[in-house]
Structure 1
């Protein structure tokens, strides 16, 4: 070791629960210490991890990472990947798709960010999802049939999620889809190099194999009246998505033939009709949809010798379709993407922005469109723009900065709304359907709704809406009056379920004759010294012992980087999944926030030997250690050294 290395001080490698100057008393309710003892003893408190609380679909992320790390063992004869798959799909039936395209708000919320870097949650989901497809895993058959029939309108992520959760509850489900194939925005909005169609088809088929009936090519409100559905079905779920794009709010946009929406552009491409563009393309947006449009335009390229029928607007509006042979002679398209926000503050995922830049997309931030400039034939020949500054969400033009950019196609990717033709009774006046917190349609009994048609957001949000709506429908069918959802609305860890699996479920409770009882620690009818706050509380990094965790680099998925000269015609998938060994390591990087991960710190450091391991025969996830309260003096050492924040000190005797 050279002198420079020897003198270097480590950075970020230490953690001190108590800092210099922490000698003043805490709030008086904490001031019960008497020298080295107190009246508080360990209580095991489960709270929701922030990764899960940040996941709109409600994934039990901590749970399936515990399976990957080898802590939560599968049943004999089952491999850990299948065990993890079952846990994942209790919330979200699309692990392979979402492991690829979800922007992973769970990773932003991960407490491991306070140590060095988040856990690669998406990468683990990607690996397990692909493994399940390759192994041909199916969902377990529904239990007893309920005799109830549910109509699901829309075969996108919200509708398919609702169908999945309802069918698993034993309800008959009939799914109506206007388009010829299911998938919604996963198929018609996201290009195949991001969601491979064999992956999407495999995960959809697994849902349909549960016994979901599909009526494709049927539009409710035109082919089937809503009144007919109300007469035939016990409940109706609306997951129709937002497949109508919003135009630019500038002069010259309306009725200009070569001004199109981002969703229309992507739908034409994903349906195989759009195979090239003509001239320069300007995409106005800044979100993920705009990046997809620009990246697709670079891939399909510019048709060098275009006939009138080859103009992209004619294809997008369904008047024609590109012939493969005619479109073969093409070159790289010139594509510009503009955003009101600075590039670094665009809402699109950072990785997607970087990819688009590398692939040759000219991205301009802090500019706003002012006017579509038309030629004598009424087609757009340029877009007039100016620099702008953002006042919150409102752009303010900078005087004297106007400029024009010549173009042959302008694509607006600034927002979407629903196609409410024939469904005017459900339209809230803005192209959406209103919903209450239980995803019921106000004033319309039997009707429930979810996904982008409520509020455009992430695919995982739509999937979560399907799960929540299915539960609301279940309560509605059972006649249960329910007007609230948990504060933390996810698929929660269930200790009793884990104890049932381990064969140590509590015994039935029989009230004692002659009054109540005091001191139940020896009884088998209660789960002692345990409190579940998961539905109400999310554990933060301040409540963890971060000093336990060593700096361990994240296993990052390989990313195929395509240059501007290679992008034309390149539709290969860009993400390379992790190996099993890498996934196991990522599982071990999880800090198991709010749940014991069996590190033995409390056992090792207890000065009174009051804390010990629970005997194997009585052990389950969350019940790994126990406390002998006749030995405990309330010194708080176990609480101080618990890495996961699972041990809280509670008043006792």
Structure 2
């Protein structure tokens, strides 16, 4: 049933009347937001209030015919509900009406007793719907500086601007006021109510000043804070990539609040991000990129609230890249849904259509390679570590075992040789192994929710790292007695020494991560029991730690073992003495590790046999060369037929010639010549043809499903399984891949888990999909570059390396790092769309190279709402004239 008086009040606040052309109806958001919290009695007294004309209870009582006591009670209840403002003037409480936004909508969403409001979802939906209802009306008719909300730049971003004025400085408003409060962000509260939160949480986000602070404190919407606390909230917001906006209806140099906003939930920012009506909210500034300084690290791109910044290129092209000039704007064109970006919360782009630097694109974690190389060239090693750890917490580990996809893609390789990215990273990471130079991230939040990570491999550790930075209480459960997963148990020490792994894990311990080793979840403790202990979410990343068998005759003979089991026993320090000839079956990196380890646990002759030809072998070329240097014989194009026994003892293995491994479609479909046979005598066969999953009882009594290959089924983007509180990644999700792939998934899992454990947060809205693509290398002009020889580390002779489990590979000297860094072509750079840029300055807080600045583009001041109407009328008429003139011009050009 419609509350008639409440509907009347909705019309009064809207300054319309029932029956008018633009009247507020029961299905409209203006009524919907009042209906759950305003009674007919409250609305009845509210109808005697006026816009920005404060009235006392006595004055309203004289008009409405109720007693002063009853009137004051109802007015106070209306003020608590958010249906009017209250403020003390000359010692007397007075009440008045405001506009809907910024005004009553925010007040109602921030209801002090919102948990008790039965229909609070309706309130959230109404606030969101109001912006959609009004969007088409505001397009192009609010000149810069006149919108109801306006961006105020981050103050450090305009410190060097000679034309700045005090009303563009956050500090002015904080220093001029004496009463402050902080409240939840109303936009995020609304999104949360609808289950559409973006992961930016609502608590302690918006600062009120003066009379607004008094109102928020008195009605329980906010808590009183000091000026110092207000400055600290501003600082913390900037550190977390947020921007500032303020209500813009009070006139030049005046405001009653400062909001700390994101582009993915804020309804004011949505005017730019979704409706592309950027003039409505922009500041007087716009971003400017110095491409000579820019290193395409992407840090600025990730925090831009309206996606005005994207990664592009700065290396020259044969065919010039012509950017399409924007000619249609909200102020000169009809602005309907065809001009909007309705999906702006899920379709954010990191890269311009023509692409960006190949190194960042190719890296599974999209580490800012170009950025940390530049920092290394400047001797800024700790900052380089920080930049790397934004995406990869384990640079020292990856500096030793990374597949170097960045180098494979490096543009420099089209000139002479790729930049030795991995060696530079390894040198930088060496600084982190020294406790005096160690980079430990600063905690960004203190959320405190308990999270369980199952598996202490690279993916689980990565997830734990990023959750710990946000202040979560993370416990990592590992069934082995040692940490590191396959980093420790699957990679030999001569490639990755255990002290390197332990040093990087120590940082997690310093961040507060708790480790429980020798605990197998599903055996020693169940997921159900962990839930009763307060764990709110789980990241399952147990790794593919089981070796696969071949399914051939004699495979169960003594002396046959999988390569994975062999490496684990050796890495655990268990005796694995091999004598005589050893046969390793497989052609991948793990098979190479198995073969090289076999040479170290016995003075044995080691032969590798694999189906693939030398060019088809999945092992990296460097790995193959190192195996050959250690006198390991690689026999290509042979497949195992059966294992030979005598009296139950392994005596040899029979192979058949492999003619081809893949069919014409590239699918694994080996073809053999059954007549060409080879018999190899041996007492030891190490099978390294793949890895599988051993789930034990971990997923018992859960809804989690597995794929036919025993990997876990989970959403490829959010990593959520069929059991909502269980997320999965690493090899458990993808099957065996490289550590850097697992690390990248660990970070994504931490983002999903953060959103999952907080009420009303979506796992997808406002989330970076991290879609990168490289530019067209065939279109580059690379003729003018000098051919500078790539720096090398000294080669380790195989006769020396095979005698030890120590990693004998050297690290670049500082001089080599500087020289090699000079070879980087610096081929990527950030681009900015100046129309889309709203001048918030968030980008400048992230740039470590002084490559991005704000410059003053406009000279607009805010206009009091009482004086706004004639400005809007003039702008509307002018816009109509411009649109008509453009149509006429287009008609004559067309004809």
Q: Using the alignment, how far apart are the partners of 1:27 and 1:53 within structure 2?
A: 22
Alignment check: 8 A CA contact 1:487 1:536 kept: no
Which residue, out of 649, 653, 670, partners 1:379? 649
* Counterpart for residue 353 of structure 1: 624
Alpha-carbon shift at residue 444 of structure 1 (Å): 0.7
User: Aligned in 2, Cα 1:28/1:195: closer, same or farther, shift over 3 Å?
Assistant: closer
Alpha-carbon shift at residue 399 of structure 1 (Å): 3.5
* Counterpart for residue 274 of structure 1: 575
User: Aligned in 2, Cα 1:622/1:278: closer, same or farther, shift over 3 Å?
Assistant: same
* Counterpart for residue 430 of structure 2: 130
Equivalent position SS for 2:655: strand
Residue correspondence of structure 1 range 312-351 to structure 2 within 5 A: 332-351=603-622
Equivalent position SS for 1:124: helix
Alpha-carbon shift at residue 482 of structure 1 (Å): 3.1
- Does residue 575 of structure 2 align to residue 575 of structure 1? no
- Does residue 172 of structure 2 align to residue 172 of structure 1? no
Residue correspondence of structure 1 range 46-65 to structure 2 within 5 A: 48-65=356-373
Equivalent position SS for 2:686: strand
- Does residue 535 of structure 2 align to residue 265 of structure 1? no
* Counterpart for residue 785 of structure 2: 549
Deviations along 1:89-143, one digit per CA (max 9) or x if unpaired, are 1111111111011121111111111111111110011000112212441413413
* Counterpart for residue 632 of structure 1: none
Q: Using the alignment, how far apart are the partners of 1:47 and 1:66 within structure 2?
A: 21
Alignment check: 8 A CA contact 1:299 1:570 kept: yes
Which residue, out of 818, 826, 829, partners 1:584? 818
Equivalent position SS for 1:595: strand
Alignment check: 8 A CA contact 1:162 1:470 kept: yes
* Counterpart for residue 527 of structure 2: 226
Q: Using the alignment, how far apart are the partners of 2:644 and 2:599 within structure 1?
A: 24
Alpha-carbon shift at residue 380 of structure 1 (Å): 2.1
Alignment check: 8 A CA contact 2:484 2:501 kept: yes
User: Aligned in 2, Cα 1:274/1:29: closer, same or farther, shift over 3 Å?
Assistant: same
Q: Using the alignment, how far apart are the partners of 2:722 and 2:443 within structure 1?
A: 32
- Does residue 457 of structure 2 align to residue 156 of structure 1? yes
Which residue, out of 395, 413, 432, partners 1:113? 413
Deviations along 1:557-612, one digit per CA (max 9) or x if unpaired, are 2231222xx55532231321111121122222222222179xxxxxxxxxxxxxxx
Which residue, out of 702, 721, 744, partners 1:442? 721
Deviations along 1:74-94, one digit per CA (max 9) or x if unpaired, are xxxxx6011101111111111
* TM-score between both structures, scaled by the size of structure 1: 0.70
Q: Using the alignment, how far apart are the partners of 1:17 and 1:164 within structure 2?
A: 41
Higher RCO (CA-CA < 8 Å; seq separation 6+): 1
Which one is further off, 364-373 or 61-70? 61-70
Alpha-carbon shift at residue 429 of structure 1 (Å): 4.4
Q: Using the alignment, how far apart are the partners of 2:621 and 2:318 within structure 1?
A: 37
* Counterpart for residue 746 of structure 2: 466
Q: Using the alignment, how far apart are the partners of 2:402 and 2:850 within structure 1?
A: 29
Alignment check: 8 A CA contact 1:299 1:567 kept: no
How much is the aligned-residue C-alpha RMSD, in angstroms? 3.0
* Counterpart for residue 546 of structure 2: 244
Deviations along 1:273-324, one digit per CA (max 9) or x if unpaired, are 13420221111010111111111111121xxxxxxxxxxxxxxxxxxxxxxx
User: Aligned in 2, Cα 1:475/1:362: closer, same or farther, shift over 3 Å?
Assistant: same
Bigger fraction of residues in helix:
2
Alpha-carbon shift at residue 627 of structure 1 (Å): 13
User: Aligned in 2, Cα 1:272/1:396: closer, same or farther, shift over 3 Å?
Assistant: same
Q: Using the alignment, how far apart are the partners of 1:183 and 1:29 within structure 2?
A: 50
* Counterpart for residue 67 of structure 1: 375
* Counterpart for residue 512 of structure 2: 211
Q: Using the alignment, how far apart are the partners of 2:538 and 2:468 within structure 1?
A: 14
Equivalent position SS for 1:85: helix
* Counterpart for residue 482 of structure 1: 763
Alpha-carbon shift at residue 553 of structure 1 (Å): 1.5
Alignment check: 8 A CA contact 1:230 1:236 kept: no
User: Aligned in 2, Cα 1:279/1:143: closer, same or farther, shift over 3 Å?
Assistant: same
* Counterpart for residue 92 of structure 1: 392
Equivalent position SS for 2:733: coil
Q: Using the alignment, how far apart are the partners of 1:567 and 1:545 within structure 2?
A: 42
Which one is further off, 202-211 or 540-549? 540-549
- Does residue 593 of structure 2 align to residue 292 of structure 1? yes
Q: Using the alignment, how far apart are the partners of 1:230 and 1:295 within structure 2?
A: 44
* Counterpart for residue 313 of structure 1: none
* Counterpart for residue 637 of structure 1: none
Residue correspondence of structure 1 range 175-214 to structure 2 within 5 A: 175-214=476-515
Q: Using the alignment, how far apart are the partners of 2:567 and 2:433 within structure 1?
A: 26
* Counterpart for residue 508 of structure 1: none
Equivalent position SS for 1:546: coil
Q: Using the alignment, how far apart are the partners of 1:353 and 1:622 within structure 2?
A: 42
User: Aligned in 2, Cα 1:577/1:624: closer, same or farther, shift over 3 Å?
Assistant: farther
Alpha-carbon shift at residue 402 of structure 1 (Å): 1.0
Q: Using the alignment, how far apart are the partners of 2:475 and 2:414 within structure 1?
A: 47
Could you list the runs of 5+ residues in structure 2 that have no partner in the other structure? 1-314, 328-350, 663-667, 832-846, 858-895
User: Aligned in 2, Cα 1:626/1:336: closer, same or farther, shift over 3 Å?
Assistant: farther
Q: Using the alignment, how far apart are the partners of 1:619 and 1:217 within structure 2?
A: 43
Alpha-carbon shift at residue 448 of structure 1 (Å): 0.7
* Counterpart for residue 432 of structure 1: 711
Alpha-carbon shift at residue 421 of structure 1 (Å): 1.1
Alpha-carbon shift at residue 391 of structure 1 (Å): 4.3
Q: Using the alignment, how far apart are the partners of 1:234 and 1:245 within structure 2?
A: 32
User: Aligned in 2, Cα 1:620/1:355: closer, same or farther, shift over 3 Å?
Assistant: closer
Q: Using the alignment, how far apart are the partners of 1:462 and 1:155 within structure 2?
A: 12
User: Aligned in 2, Cα 1:131/1:559: closer, same or farther, shift over 3 Å?
Assistant: farther
Which residue, out of 82, 86, 92, partners 2:382? 82
- Does residue 817 of structure 2 align to residue 561 of structure 1? no
* TM-score between both structures, scaled by the size of structure 2: 0.52
Alpha-carbon shift at residue 624 of structure 1 (Å): 8.1
Could you list the runs of 5+ residues in structure 1 that have no partner in the other structure? 1-14, 33-43, 71-78, 302-331, 490-534, 598-617, 629-653
Alpha-carbon shift at residue 548 of structure 1 (Å): 4.3
Alignment check: 8 A CA contact 1:149 1:233 kept: yes
User: Aligned in 2, Cα 1:67/1:334: closer, same or farther, shift over 3 Å?
Assistant: same
Which residue, out of 373, 382, 396, partners 2:671? 396
Equivalent position SS for 1:559: coil
Q: Using the alignment, how far apart are the partners of 2:439 and 2:830 within structure 1?
A: 31
* Counterpart for residue 457 of structure 1: 737
Aligned length: 490
Alignment check: 8 A CA contact 1:64 1:87 kept: yes
Alignment check: 8 A CA contact 1:439 1:450 kept: no
Q: Using the alignment, how far apart are the partners of 1:475 and 1:549 within structure 2?
A: 47
Deviations along 1:521-552, one digit per CA (max 9) or x if unpaired, are xxxxxxxxxxxxxx554333245442443221
Alpha-carbon shift at residue 389 of structure 1 (Å): 1.9
User: Aligned in 2, Cα 1:147/1:437: closer, same or farther, shift over 3 Å?
Assistant: same
